[in-house]
């Protein structure tokens, strides 16, 4: 064991500090007792207890008679006796203080090591954590003290990091899947045109139009990705807001697009306060409503509602389209859910919430966004049931 790391460790500093505290307190107590004893060594007390003139003292079979002493002799004997007693007491005190410091230092070393053991466990787990493996936890057991709460906070932070890492992986999978489709269209059309030696100008024009549409779709996807990244960077602007206002404003902004497709948007809201980023939550609703408008048959109704249940605020966008497989939102799929849904799910989970899909009676899908309410009455996990039954 190298001495330099030992002397610079918190354990050594705590040991020395505790030893100094014990040493100072012990020294103060012993010195106080010393002065009390010194004050109590008076002539009429000490000599009266030790030497009484006229008494006969027998030691080893020899009888001694204490002679009468003059006052000056009496005081001289008293002074010598008192000094010897004080010298003996002083020596005992000095040796006692030395042993007190040594023993307190050793005991402080072991007690500090025992107290700091959980910190070493936390450090060991932190050193072994890798970017691709966030499954390790401290799981510190023991009394509910500061170190146990620190370990619990560290484990909770790892849970959040693991969840965020998982969300990013799913988000990248969905993004890669959606970007692959227009790239495949561009590549296949160009390969066909290049392989056709008899391709006319009109053929190349058609190929160019297909490539342009695919490139435009890719550009739109990239714009959405950039917007999602900007929204996530701005998550520090969390504020208390009522999602009823977001639902109403989003429906009003998208109503014209819905009417162009012969669709009606119906809104029913209840007050529900959350803490979040207004732009990010609005983007979730816009993506869900855009998907509903694109999937709904003409002449059908899209319903938007919001409220609060079990300590969680919820927002729903329900349509009469062909439906969506709930597995696309469960985290078990590798893309295919659409970039809009991927962004919506990513933003919802970044707020500590969840995006869920429920099939509707008669066809269609109800998309539900759960966000933690400002009222701390719910559990840590959002409900798994449809909020409207």
CATH code for position 310: 3.30.565.10
pLDDT in tens, 77-96: 667 777 787 788 888 888 88
pLDDT recorded at residue 3: 53
Report the domain count for the chain: 2
15 vs 60: which has the higher pLDDT: 15
Is 282 buried (19+), middle (13-18) or exposed (0-12) by CB count in 10 A?
buried
Write the CB contacts of 62 (distance below 8 Å, at least 6 apart in sequence).
Answer: none
pLDDT recorded at residue 376: 59
Judgement on whether residues 352 and 223 belong to the same structural domain of the protein: yes
Chain-centre distance for alpha carbon 326: 30
- What distance in Å separates the CA atoms of residue 170 and residue 337, rounded to the nearest whole number? 10
Say how many Å lie between the first and final Cα of the chain, rounded.
66
Could you say which of 110, 127, 144 is where a domain stops?
Answer: 127
pLDDT in tens, 339-352: 778 888 888 888 88
Confidence category of residue 21, pLDDT binned at 50, 70, 90: confident
Judgement on whether residues 237 and 109 belong to the same structural domain of the protein: no
Phi/psi zone of residue 315: left (φ > 0), alpha (ψ -120 to 50 degrees), beta?
Answer: beta
Residue of 358, 375, 376 lying closest to 367 (CA atoms): 358
Judgement on whether residues 261 and 309 belong to the same structural domain of the protein: yes
Q: Please check the confidence at residue 132 and state whether its pLDDT lies above 70.
A: no
37 found inside a domain? yes
Judgement on whether residues 109 and 213 belong to the same structural domain of the protein: no
Find the radius of gyration of the CA atoms of the chain. 42
Whether 185 and 210 have beta carbons less than 8 Å apart is answered as yes
Helix 201-233 / helix 278-295 crossing angle, nearest 10 deg: 150
User: Looking at 143-205, which runs of residues are DSSP E strands?
Assistant: none
pLDDT recorded at residue 344: 87
Judgement on whether residues 328 and 231 belong to the same structural domain of the protein: yes
- What distance in Å separates the CA atoms of residue 349 and residue 358, rounded to the nearest whole number? 18
Residue of 17, 19, 81 lying closest to 47 (CA atoms): 81
pLDDT recorded at residue 386: 85
Whether 302 and 258 have beta carbons less than 8 Å apart is answered as yes
271 vs 97: which has the higher pLDDT: 271
- What distance in Å separates the CA atoms of residue 387 and residue 385, rounded to the nearest whole number? 6
User: Looking at 235-353, which runs of residues are DSSP E strands?
Assistant: 239-242, 264-269, 273-276, 301-309, 312-318
Whether 369 and 205 have beta carbons less than 8 Å apart is answered as no
Q: Please check the confidence at residue 47 and state whether its pLDDT lies above 50.
A: no
Judgement on whether residues 273 and 229 belong to the same structural domain of the protein: yes
Judgement on whether residues 177 and 278 belong to the same structural domain of the protein: yes
Judgement on whether residues 53 and 186 belong to the same structural domain of the protein: no
387 found inside a domain? no
Judgement on whether residues 296 and 209 belong to the same structural domain of the protein: yes
Tell me if residue 308 falls in helix, strand or coil. strand
pLDDT recorded at residue 4: 54
pLDDT recorded at residue 184: 86
pLDDT in tens, 271-299: 999 988 888 899 899 989 988 998 899 99
Does pTM surpass 0.75? no
pLDDT recorded at residue 49: 45
- The mean pLDDT value for 120-134 works out to 72
Judgement on whether residues 77 and 178 belong to the same structural domain of the protein: no
- What distance in Å separates the CA atoms of residue 214 and residue 210, rounded to the nearest whole number? 6
359 vs 5: which has the higher pLDDT: 359
Which residues form the domain of 46? 3-127
150 found inside a domain? no
Judgement on whether residues 214 and 328 belong to the same structural domain of the protein: yes
Whether 321 and 297 have beta carbons less than 8 Å apart is answered as yes
Judgement on whether residues 92 and 179 belong to the same structural domain of the protein: no
């Amino acid at each position: 064991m190298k001495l330099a790391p030992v002397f610079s460790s918190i354990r050594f500093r705590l040991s020395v500090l505790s030893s100094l505290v014990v040493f100072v307190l012990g020294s103060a107590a012993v010195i106080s007792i010393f002065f009390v004893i010194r004050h109590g060594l008076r002539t009429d007390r000490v000599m009266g207890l030790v030497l009484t003139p006229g008494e006969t003292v027998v030691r080893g079979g020899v009888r001694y008679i204490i002679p009468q002493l003059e006052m000056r002799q009496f005081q001289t004997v008293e002074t010598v006796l008192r000094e010897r007693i004080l010298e003996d007491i002083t020596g005992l005190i000095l040796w006692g203080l030395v042993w007190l410091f040594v023993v307190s230092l050793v005991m402080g070393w072991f007690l500090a090591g025992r107290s700091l053991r959980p910190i070493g466990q936390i450090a060991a787990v932190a050193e072994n954590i890798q970017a691709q493996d966030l499954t390790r936890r401290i799981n510190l057991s023991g009394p509910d003290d500061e170190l146990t709460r620190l370990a619990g906070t560290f484990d909770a932070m790892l849970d959040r990091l693991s969840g965020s890492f998982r969300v990013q992986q799913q988000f990248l999978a969905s993004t890669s899947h959606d970007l692959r489709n227009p790239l495949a269209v561009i590549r296949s059309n160009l390969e066909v045109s290049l392989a056709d030696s008899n391709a006319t100008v009109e053929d190349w024009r058609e190929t160019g139009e297909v490539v342009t549409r695919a490139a435009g779709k890719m550009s739109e996807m990239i714009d959405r990705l950039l917007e999602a990244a900007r929204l996530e960077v701005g998550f520090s602007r969390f504020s208390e807001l009522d999602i009823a206002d977001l639902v109403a404003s989003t429906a009003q902004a998208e109503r014209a697009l819905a009417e162009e497709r012969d669709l009606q948007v119906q809104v029913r809201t209840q007050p529900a306060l959350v803490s979040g980023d207004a732009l990010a939550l609005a983007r979730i609703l816009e993506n869900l409503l855009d998907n509903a408008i694109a999937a709904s048959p003409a002449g059908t109704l899209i319903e938007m509602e919001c409220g609060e249940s079990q300590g969680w605020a919820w927002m729903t966008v329900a349509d009469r389209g062909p439906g969506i497989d709930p597995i696309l939102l469960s985290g078990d799929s590798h893309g295919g859910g659409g970039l809009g849904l991927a962004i919506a799910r990513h933003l919802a989970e970044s707020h500590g919430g969840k995006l869920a899909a429920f099939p509707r009676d008669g066809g269609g899908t109800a998309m539900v966004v759960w966000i933690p309410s400002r009222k701390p009455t719910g559990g840590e996990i959002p409900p798994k049931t449809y909020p409207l039954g």
